[in-house]
Structure 1
């Protein structure tokens, strides 16, 4: 008998994008894993801190959350990261369906 209960064990070919950029308040390096798992939320990894999270459009608009999540030094840094992510995180299909339904 196994000491754990397996919830899922899936494999898929995922698109991965690595982006490094400089803005007024700092340098940022992110890995973005676009996947169909987890309701289509991409996994966003900060390469400087190693911190990662599944993010939706609502998440990337929450500056306090981003600041805490990626250990950013200021709200200005969180705003820069938010602007970048808003332009690079796709809207989720079920969010669009909920708005139209």
Structure 2
């Protein structure tokens, strides 16, 4: 067996917030991780949809970003964006 070449192998303490809320269009079950790794951005996991993204304020302002990452409609993205704006 060949030797593995690691680009990095770090361990870090994280803070994780689990939140579930009912929007006008769907239910959201999220895990929001705070870590030092992503330059102040949060790792936001959509538990039901099996999708995740590293999100900061700049990403929330990017047109179409939330729609693309989480594969949701513009309306769904707007309510998710409104929630994340208060957190990120």
Give your verdict on TM over 0.5. yes
User: Contact between 1:63 and 1:82, CA under 8 Å: does it hold in 2?
Assistant: no
Aligned to 1:26: 26
CA distance, structure 1, for counterparts of residue 41 and residue 82 of structure 2: 17
Aligned structure 1 segments of 4 or more residues deviating by more than 4 angstroms: none
Q: TM-score, normalised by structure 1?
A: 0.77
User: Contact between 1:63 and 1:79, CA under 8 Å: does it hold in 2?
Assistant: no
May I ask how many residue pairs the two structures share in their alignment? Answer: 87
Question: Comparing both structures, which one devotes a greater share of its residues to strand?
Answer: 2
Q: What is the aligned-residue RMSD (CA, Å)?
A: 1.5
**CA deviation after TM superposition for structure 1 residue 41, in Å:** 1.8
**CA deviation after TM superposition for structure 1 residue 71, in Å:** 1.3
CA distance, structure 2, for counterparts of residue 10 and residue 16 of structure 1: 18
Q: TM-score, normalised by structure 2?
A: 0.87
Aligned to 2:3: 2
